[in-house]
Chain A
Amino acid sequence: MGLKRNVSLKDALRYQGNGPMLTYILHRIGGLGIVTFVGMHILASFVGGDIGSSINLIYEHWAFQIVIFFCALFHVINGLRIVILDLWPKLIEHQREAIWIEWAVFLPIYGMAALVIVRTALGG
């Protein structure tokens, strides 16, 4: 088994990966969130009826939408950075700057959308 790793959870949490590590973790979490949502959405439309609409209620809830929009938007923007850096490897020298640009794009868009979601939820 080539996969044996003896890293305890405590060591793992102490690992100072900083910005790139954070994007790696959020990309994984975001991907899992999208798979969950899209899977639910497709199955809800397929099943239909009472079960379908009760699944609808879950992902139409504003709390779910705030989380899933974070997942989707981060995965989309970070994914574009990964594709560009991987397909043009010479750009990897600028990866720190690329991550800063990524946050500069992500934060305003997500902030606005979250504001709209919360305002709609409060306004009814």
Chain B
Amino acid sequence: MAAKHRTLSLAKRGFDFEIFMWLFTRLSALAMYLCALIGLVGALIMGARTQVNPADLIRWTFMPNSNHVLMNTTLNNIANSDAWASLFWKFMGSTFIAFAVSHGLHGLLSVIEDYLRNRMVRRILRIVGLVLTLTMIAIGIYVLWTA
């Protein structure tokens, strides 16, 4: 049986905050795939194929922080350690953190809200979630730039 497509245009559906966050979750996921891909390709360009072991390459791909490659004592053969800690990777990591924290904490909030009946508690939790998101982004970026 050929099911008829029941897709509504965005104008008919309305565009409220929930729809925005639904879309944001998808788009931030795509952005994180892109960040990870740039990290992986960049690491290979910087010589990861011969200088970095696979486990560290994966750690770097999840977050382009130079400590993820340079702190490992078995890897003293990194030739261009400055390149791994460059400004480009700091900004790339900050972008990654911002997307990851907002995507993750919004996800956490929507899982919790599915099990909460009290509207007041949900409203308070949203504010707590927003504050927590901003705090964690700030802490993450601080760690990335100072470590």
Contact = CB atoms under 8 A, between A and B. Distances in A.
The SS class assigned to the A binding surface is helix
Given A38-B100, A79-B29, A4 B139 contact: no
A46 B143 contact: yes
B106 to A, nearest CB: 10
Contact size range, A: 20 to 34
Interface residues of B, number: 24
Contacts of A32: 108, 111
Contacts of B5: 89-90
18 contacts: A1-B117, A3-B116, A3-B117, A31-B107, A31-B111, A32-B111, A38-B100, A38-B104, A42-B139, A42-B140, A42-B143, A43-B139, A45-B147, A46-B139, A79-B29, A80-B29, A87-B26, A89-B7
B111 A86 contact: no
Interface of B: 3, 5, 7, 26, 29-30, 33, 62, 100-101, 104-105, 107-108, 111, 116-117, 119, 136, 139-140, 142-143, 147
